[in-house]
Amino acid sequence: MYLITGLGNPTEQYRHTRHNAGFDSIDILASMLSIKVNRALHKSHYGKGLEGQEKVILAKPQTFMNLSGQAVQSLMHFYKIDKEHLIVIYDDSDLEPGKIRIRKSGSAGGHNGMKDIIKMIGTQEFVRIRIGIGKPPEYMDMADFVLSRPEGEEKKLIEAACEKAALAARDVIENGADHAMNHFNS
């Protein structure tokens, strides 16, 4: 069984902001797999289904970004999910808009949601799919930037990256992380 968690902030106020790229990817993946993300337990909205023969849980933590680890830990514990079957999708300001990057392990890289997940589950050894949102303009604070909505060409690039991230998560499940990295990290 795989747990695929997209990071973001709950409530309409944050819908489709740069920081909610993980939530947007989960919505796309849910549509691809015909999974309804409509259960509310484990500090998450989540749904269960199949990718091929593999059981999958898609989750959007409802703890707000900085406490995402509480939801991930709760789901992993309840469903007895190994760290090798955890995939986290989240925004990354170090990548250009439209780019994605898959890794099998690594640090949080300054991302507070990832810091909390690593702290709560006690390891950095899990697959992560980072979605590029780019850097803020000189005049803008990072927090204001990530909590704002992209527009125009930037919006199209980030939406395309969210779709690529959903496809990459499917590839990790079907063919393994190395295959997905070779295909999507180019």
Q: Is 89 left (phi over 0), alpha (psi -120 to 50) or beta?
A: beta
- Residue 94: exposed, middle, or buried by beta-carbon count in 10 A (0-12, 13-18, 19+)? middle
- The catalytic site residues sit at 19
- Residue 129: exposed, middle, or buried by beta-carbon count in 10 A (0-12, 13-18, 19+)? buried
Q: Are 2 and 51 in contact (CB under 8 A)?
A: yes
What stretch of H or E contains 108? Answer: none
- Please state, in angstroms and rounded to a whole number, the distance separating the CA atoms of residues 152 and 179: 32
Sign (positive or negative) of CA dihedral 176, 180, 183, 186: negative
